[in-house]
Structure 1
Amino acid sequence: MAYKYSGASAIALTTALAGTAVLSGAVQAEVEEIIVTATKRAESTQDVPVAVTAMSSTTLEDLNVDVFTDYLLELPGVSSGGSGPGQGTIYIRGLSSTTPHLTVAGVSGLAPNVALYLDEQPVTQVGRNLDVYAADLNRVEVLPGPQGTLFGASSQAGTIRLITNKPNLSTFEASISAGVSFTKGGEMSEKVEAMINYPIIENKFALRGVFYNDNQGGYIDNVYGTRSAADSARFASSTARPNGVLTSDGFQAGADLSAVTFLDADNLEHVEENFNDASYTGFRVSALYEVNEDWTVTATHTRQRIDSEGVFFIDPELDDPDDLSVQRFSPDEIVDDFDNTSLTVEGRLGMLEMVYSGAFLNRDTAQTVDYTDYLFVGQYLPYYICDASVSYPGAADPSGTCQPPNLYVNSTTDTEVMTHELRFVTPEENRLKATFGGFYSDQKIVENNNFTYPGSRFVAGYAPGEIGFPQNGPLPGSSVSDPNPRPLGVIFFNDITRTDVQKGLFADVTYDLIPDTLSITGGVRWHDVDVRLKGSANSSFNNLFYQEDVNDFGTNLDTQFDGTQVINGVTVPTGAEAKGTVFKGNISWTPNENTLIYFTYSEGFRPGLPNRPAGAGGGAVPAIIRTDEVVNYEFGWKLDLFENQLRFNGNAFYVEVKDLQTTIFDPTIVNLFFSDNAANAEIKGVEGDLTYAPTEVPGLTISGAFSILDTEIKELVGASVAIAGPGEDLANAPSFQGNLRARYAWDLNDDMRAYVMPRITYSASSYSDIVLINRAEQDSYFLMNMSFGIIMENWSAEIYGENLTDERAQLSNNLYFDRERISINRPRTFGLRVSYSY
């Protein structure tokens, strides 16, 4: 039996062996050799001296993996932040400081430190990772640790690769699968996926297409409630938590507000059970043309749309074990569309293998976000929704009216990314071999955020004889994507264009000191990354009182991308550049065919960025965020033991982190999100995966993986807000994560096989942020799943249960607005899946 899952790990392969639909006898209990491409050349998984963990297509199906959070839950050492479909962020080995706030993630967000690849193409994006549905994937491949020499800027903590199935030139294939599931206290979900592979010219030209539609029912309730401006940070008498923003510095501190009329925001029209629905709809079409024996061309087009309503977090103050709930006062919805077209040309030039990969990605998101929680920290909120007699009283005891604080944001993000890579590989049989090439990418993000306060249209007293604020618009002289005035009620807006341009040259050279036994590798990458901003961020108060000035209420970014902006009359940069070289060194020893020992030194980096509110807070906000850098020392092993019945791969690592970047929202400094360098840190850890296929029990496979982390802040580097001190943990860094599953398959008769697979997942507790005002402890969790299925020659059927103990796994935590909002996993779910293949 031959299996060849490029890039898959042992854990993926053995599961595939145990669960395959081959009905000609018991599955051979042996971990077989497979091929990986983790170093951009084809090598045996046990011969490549790097850590690589993956899930094959069979494993993805066995684990019922469909979307972003599904596969992250199955990968120890990999954690995530975010708040729903299309809004996730990946962290590897605990190298994390914060989770971005999505309404400004594109313009103010840090560059990710984990690179995300779709086949040969990097699709890493600022703030919002591409949430690619796992349809007809060959594997999901994870390379932990800095991969800066081969994969560039955003691979500081690691790289995740989504590898699709390619067209088959010789065989017609087709399959269809459908499923339905039921969630405790929630709505029904259903999905369908179909694939067809058609060789148009046998052994020469083939097409492959896949279509999918997955409707995921909601499980969180929007429950009734009211809010008023009396809860605002300007008027409230205390904070919601010890580290929250100041609430006693407002104009009304200590004043008698009994004569003020506070009108309630009432969410009755938005009350709904199970309001967090989501759907993934899309297709992918690939064409493979074999020009001749040496050259092939592959073209792929992918289109996907996510429609999501509601939110995927709960308010723990409202929640009880049987009622997952939150209070929202405006609609929450997102439409996330992307189109991606890629071209890969592979061939041979003399002794060199050549690969060119180019791609163009266009992604549009349109999102409405309830912003009512902002009243808990919005120190300027009363200006916008209260009469002037309340905000600027003529006597000690003010009077007047404050309108309902039903705030919301309309946000659009248009992203275009063009990438090109050309690389060459020397013959594998050479004693001296190399991989080298060049890379270029150009990313443009145009983001518009309209922060709308409906009550601002009814306030009195700020302009003589007028009610309400005038229309807001771009600052004079700014370069914006929309030059028109914003709708009435838009009190603040961002209209910012961000460009990230990256150039790189790389080389990876290996020399066999003793052929097949001892090798050394050296890698280098020269990089030049340039990040720039232009546009306008402006408030209605700026338009009213400061038409000619640029100040803390508004930012005017230069129209020509010449690298400057003017804040309070001071010229500061609007561009950040990271230019330099990173290195990798590796030595590997193979004393016998079943053992590989290696040591790796590697470097990684993440470029800095300019701050829109540079100089604000009395100069507390820096103009430019410095590049943060990591150095990684890693000792690893790959062992095939007991006549290939047991495979144990693992590594121990030590990482030094310098100038770790973080995102901050602190209204006591400035009423905008900004970024800063927070701390130097170190990370120590051990990770591994284990697969056991005993010959005594044909059909049984036991697989497990674990990650042990010890993260520590070593030194603060002068951030403008309080950071967790030396000795404290980094964010999203559980001290232990692990999973274990056993799959047993047996023959029912000559035509039918059955299998059963229980599995468990555990994560220790972690912290949500390193910024103290946003830092909350996220509880540990333990998840249990079970599946049972029957496989025939062309048919298969499975019933499964997920989260059988109905655990509330805290996947991320948002404290930006002084109220805890916890993103959780789906409650207990039972489902049925049926598939047919031809």
Structure 2
Amino acid sequence: MKINPITCAVLAALAVSRVSYADTTTPPAPATQPATASANSNAANTPSAANAATLGTVNVTAQHTVQDIQQVPITIQAFTGATLQQMNVQDFQDVIKYLPNVTFATNGPGQGNIYMRGLSTGFLGNQSSASIAPFPNVAVYLDDQSMQFPARNLDIYMVDMERLEVLEGPQGTLFGGGAEAGAVRYITNKPNLDKVSGSAEASAGATAGGGPNNSANAVLNFPIIPGTLAVRGVIYNDHQGGYIDNVPSTYTRQATDGGGAMAPYVAAGSAAGTNNYSVAQNNWNPVDYQGARLSALWKINDDWNFLIAESYQNLDANGQSSTYPTGTDGQKLGTDQITSFVPAWNNDHFTNTAWTLNGQIGDLSLVYTGGYTNRRISEQQDYTSYSRSAGGMYYQCTGTSAGLSSAGKPICYSPVGYWNDHVNSTHQSHELRLMTPEDGRLRAIGGLYYEDFNINDRMDFNYKTIPSCTPANLTAALAGGYPCVADAESSPGIVMPDNTAFGEVEKRGYKQEAVFGSLSYDIVPDVLTVTAGTRYYHYSEWQTGTEFYTTAAQVNVPNGTYVGNDSVMNYHQDYHGFKSRANLLWNITPDMMLYYTFSQGFRPGGFNRTTSEVAKLDGVPQYKKPTSYAPDTLTNNEIGFKSTFFDDRLLLNASIYDMRWNNVQMQFFNPLVLGNTTFAVNGPNYKVDGGELQFQARITDGLSLMGSASLNHAKQTNSPCLVDNIPGSAAYNSCIVATGAAGAVSSFANPFGEVGSVPAFSPRSQYNLRLRYDWTLAGDYKAFWQVGASHMGSMYNQPATYPSGDGVTDITTVELRYLQAAYTTYDASIGVAKDNWNMSIFGTNLGNSHASTFTSSAEFIESQVPIHPRVIGVKVGFKF
């Protein structure tokens, strides 16, 4: 069992800590409010002894002000830190099962996209995602700092959290671009100025069919100057054992590879193969989270306070999180198995510095918050199956027209290929907000926002196995031996590593300036309130660098020869506009609220790496890839009902909505027809209707029930086509309907989907249920048991007109469409606590489901990312 030194330190702390208990349920002033404000959100769902049979109150800051969640006129789900601990939530993959109307397409930790209410057009692989993936339409925030990233939502480890807020529907007015479909907000605990407190927790567990797990974390809150200055620190380590086996396998070239182009090589007896014996191993995908957070709160005086926080996290995911139903040589594989030929990893490191100044200027509340995030990613993944395509053969064979060089006797080299991505990103933001008193009949909030987001990406596709032109190889080639191919050079002076056939060295990002404001007026105090707000935004967006590739000009020339085989990117665009919202809130009774919300959202546009001409018909191209694509937009109309009954023993919330998603960004990658680089365009419109239900009930003083469900109906409302945009071609200004050479013309399916079809990652239904019972045993022992179930409906991974992947073994595109079957998971835990100690036994995915959460052909082989297998564990904790 792998145990990190951090784990050992926390286990030691558990053994020796003997500090008197101090009540930690009263948090400090939230960072979004002045120090005089009070929002006891840590105590939410933890009623006092005098009110033990009620549900309690959850306070949120979804609208940049402290509010009871039952008074927020949007569909919102919030989990307090205590609830996250009760549900054994550590990362977003753990909490997704309790979030109806939220889906998560992921290639592994830190490698996914969050979708809400079915607003998705599909998800591709991680390769080049930093360069080519559209910006997400669900924003991720750590406190007040945006953590969004194309196709790589930051996987924040959830420890010492005040709460998690999930805001559904457009949040473009307060949270800007990227919050088009909603926002996920991680709210951390802040220092307490008055009490020394802390905790330590450790766990160990076993994964069905996999390696052992262990985790530990420790929290300390310490007032340096009681009432004036306090610090809070948290440290954590979590090791999750692997459960996917990379089984021994061979790779044998087939005559059918590359659409039959491999046949001459097989006939010549040069069908090179290989095996993966050097990297095959069981449980090869362990994951480690290590991190720390240190924050300090200074109460300057009764009106002003200042908070600063430093966060650090390193996520180290080895191997791959995907499995293969069929191995690389066509063999049927077992559950949670894969055949990979190279070492694989995803290392994701971030540091974040954030600060918040709260104060009063007369009757006005002022908040200035800022942050700077540096994120570094290094990832390598197997790409060997690409060798069966015509593209892969091109870089690995010589001697016929299918290879890079037609000279000499046909020969192929190793089929082993992989890609390696190095990303460095910086994200800086500043926001200044002013608010009028919350008890006024007319209330206002206004602010300024600035954001600077930069991504540097170095992406290498390492599948060129033809020998490079070292002096010895070049001499042999020029003397009549087998050809060599010089290492690629991008932008004179940047020589690519040996085996790198294709990739990019690029920079991408934007600057955003925004002004926002909102007014609320109580038409009838405490009964009827109207709110209206808007946001003006201005984006300056860019993408620069080069995309490089290997050509015949590199055959038999010295390594480092620049042959101009790169495409230069130097793209810039500006856009601006307004996004608005309006609410009408009616408190029918003090415990029953009805609301109507109109809201708008958007996400930034982007650029394509090249503008090559593709979709050839009889050798004549019909389509030129556009340089850029525009933002898409979302308009939401929502009616909701929030209520509590039976003296706060039953909570019932419901909402229905109608959303219109227009000018939607879509990506295409079809090497045989649309070229060997992914590109994006604006395409269809979608209409999404649905409803959501949330309920909580305290059946008795100790027995509570909570659950939520969603029913979603999303459909495409128009069907644009890919229009021939090259003057002089036969179908200029018409829909492209056919491609191919004379005598081999084939129809071209509309890649935008069809009217009435359901978009990708849009399950019809989702629901979950959790039952918990707390009671007291003799001797002041407090015990509990808890059971839960979660259901995810079936969904597709791609639009309706994409080719089906069922039964396809000769994969030539990353866009195959697979049905991801519905599944249900079950969890349970039981525990006991006394004084400062607590212990519990927990189980997740008790049915040991292996359902796929993301099925894809992104690596030119069918892959599935399975649910984490069953885990049984024990957890022990200490608080003081």
Q: Give the TM-score of the pair, scaled to structure 1.
A: 0.90
Aligned match of 1:802 in 824, 839, 844?
A: 844
3-state SS of 2:128 partner: helix
* Structure 1 range deviating more: 796-805 or 723-732: 723-732
3-state SS of 1:726 partner: coil
Aligned match of 1:275 in 280, 284, 287?
A: 284
Q: What is the CA-CA distance between 1:33 and the residue it aligns to?
A: 3.4
Q: What is the CA-CA distance between 1:420 and the residue it aligns to?
A: 0.5
Q: Equivalent residue for 1:671?
A: 676
1:646-725 aligned within 5 A: 646-668=650-672, 669-694=674-699, 697-719=700-722, 722-725=751-754
Query: Distance in 1 between the 2:769 and 2:332 partners?
Result: 30
- Does residue 473 of the first structure (1) align with residue 489 of the second (2)? yes
1:316-395 aligned within 5 A: 316-317=325-326, 323-377=335-389, 379-389=390-400, 391=402
Aligned match of 2:640 in 636, 639, 648?
A: 636
Q: Equivalent residue for 1:47?
A: 71
Deviations 1:23-51 (A, max 9, x none): xx797121233422111111222222222
- Does residue 177 of the first structure (1) align with residue 184 of the second (2)? no
* Structure 1 range deviating more: 143-152 or 380-389: 380-389
Q: Is the 8 A contact 2:405 2:483 kept in 1?
A: no
Deviations 1:120-139 (A, max 9, x none): 11111122111111010111
Per the alignment, do residues 256 and 221 of structure 1 end up closer, same or farther by CA in structure 2, a change over 3 Å counting?
closer
Query: Distance in 1 between the 2:25 and 2:316 partners?
Result: 37
Q: Equivalent residue for 1:505?
A: 515
3-state SS of 2:489 partner: coil
Q: What is the CA-CA distance between 1:193 and the residue it aligns to?
A: 0.4
3-state SS of 1:160 partner: strand
1:785-796 aligned within 5 A: 785-796=827-838
Q: Equivalent residue for 1:439?
A: 449
Aligned match of 1:164 in 174, 185, 188?
A: 188
Q: What is the CA-CA distance between 1:529 and the residue it aligns to?
A: 1.7
Query: Distance in 2 between the 1:284 and 1:4 partners?
Result: 20
Q: Is the 8 A contact 2:502 2:548 kept in 1?
A: yes
Q: Amino acid of the residue matched to residue 474 of structure 1?
A: S
Identity %: 30
3-state SS of 1:391 partner: coil
Query: Distance in 2 between the 1:187 and 1:768 partners?
Result: 30
1:237-276 aligned within 5 A: 237=260, 252=261, 257-276=266-285
Q: What is the CA-CA distance between 1:380 and the residue it aligns to?
A: 2.7
3-state SS of 2:148 partner: coil
Q: Amino acid of the residue matched to residue 382 of structure 1?
A: M
Q: Amino acid of the residue matched to residue 428 of structure 1?
A: E
Q: What is the CA-CA distance between 1:484 and the residue it aligns to?
A: 2.8
- Does residue 525 of the first structure (1) align with residue 535 of the second (2)? yes
Q: Equivalent residue for 2:868?
A: 826
3-state SS of 1:107 partner: helix
Per the alignment, do residues 255 and 649 of structure 1 end up closer, same or farther by CA in structure 2, a change over 3 Å counting?
same
Per the alignment, do residues 256 and 366 of structure 1 end up closer, same or farther by CA in structure 2, a change over 3 Å counting?
closer
Query: Distance in 1 between the 2:210 and 2:50 partners?
Result: 40
Which segments of 5 or more consecutive residues in structure 2 lack a partner in the other structure?
Answer: 1-22, 33-39, 615-620, 724-749, 803-814
Q: Equivalent residue for 2:783?
A: 754
Query: Distance in 2 between the 1:578 and 1:228 partners?
Result: 51
Deviations 1:557-613 (A, max 9, x none): 23xxxxxxxxxxxxxxx2343311111111111121011000011111112111112
Greater RCO (CA < 8 Å, at least 6 residues apart): 1
3-state SS of 1:32 partner: coil
1:209-220 aligned within 5 A: 209-220=233-244
Q: Amino acid of the residue matched to residue 801 of structure 1?
A: G
Q: Equivalent residue for 1:783?
A: 825
Q: Equivalent residue for 2:741?
A: none
Query: Distance in 1 between the 2:366 and 2:837 partners?
Result: 40
1:79-98 aligned within 5 A: 79-98=103-122
Q: Amino acid of the residue matched to residue 508 of structure 1?
A: S
Query: Distance in 1 between the 2:387 and 2:230 partners?
Result: 57
Q: Equivalent residue for 1:241?
A: none
1:120-269 aligned within 5 A: 120-230=144-254, 234=258, 236-237=259-260, 252=261, 257-269=266-278
3-state SS of 2:74 partner: coil
* Structure 1 range deviating more: 659-668 or 643-652: 659-668
Q: Amino acid of the residue matched to residue 575 of structure 2?
A: A
Matched residue pairs, number?
790
Q: What is the CA-CA distance between 1:733 and the residue it aligns to?
A: 1.0
Q: What is the CA-CA distance between 1:431 and the residue it aligns to?
A: 1.2
Q: Amino acid of the residue matched to residue 317 of structure 1?
A: T
Q: Is the 8 A contact 1:17 1:27 kept in 2?
A: no
Aligned match of 1:607 in 598, 604, 608?
A: 604
Q: Is the 8 A contact 2:398 2:408 kept in 1?
A: no
Per the alignment, do residues 220 and 34 of structure 1 end up closer, same or farther by CA in structure 2, a change over 3 Å counting?
closer
Q: Is the 8 A contact 2:107 2:125 kept in 1?
A: no
Q: Equivalent residue for 2:11?
A: none
Per the alignment, do residues 34 and 309 of structure 1 end up closer, same or farther by CA in structure 2, a change over 3 Å counting?
closer
Aligned match of 1:292 in 285, 301, 305?
A: 301
Q: Is the 8 A contact 1:221 1:326 kept in 2?
A: yes
Query: Distance in 2 between the 1:393 and 1:543 partners?
Result: 10
Q: Equivalent residue for 1:490?
A: 500
- Does residue 30 of the first structure (1) align with residue 54 of the second (2)? yes
Deviations 1:212-232 (A, max 9, x none): 000110000101222245378
1:723-742 aligned within 5 A: 723-742=752-771
Query: Distance in 2 between the 1:4 and 1:200 partners?
Result: 18
Q: Is the 8 A contact 1:542 1:554 kept in 2?
A: no
Deviations 1:718-777 (A, max 9, x none): 347623311111111111111101000111024211100000000110111227133211
Q: What is the CA-CA distance between 1:105 and the residue it aligns to?
A: 0.8
Q: Equivalent residue for 1:539?
A: 549
Query: Distance in 1 between the 2:440 and 2:198 partners?
Result: 41
3-state SS of 1:313 partner: coil
3-state SS of 1:149 partner: helix
Q: What is the CA-CA distance between 1:392 and the residue it aligns to?
A: 6.3
Per the alignment, do residues 607 and 393 of structure 1 end up closer, same or farther by CA in structure 2, a change over 3 Å counting?
closer
Deviations 1:691-740 (A, max 9, x none): 0112xx22010000111110101112334762331111111111111110
Q: Amino acid of the residue matched to residue 295 of structure 2?
A: S
3-state SS of 1:374 partner: helix
Q: Is the 8 A contact 1:215 1:278 kept in 2?
A: yes
Q: Equivalent residue for 1:301?
A: 310
3-state SS of 1:446 partner: strand
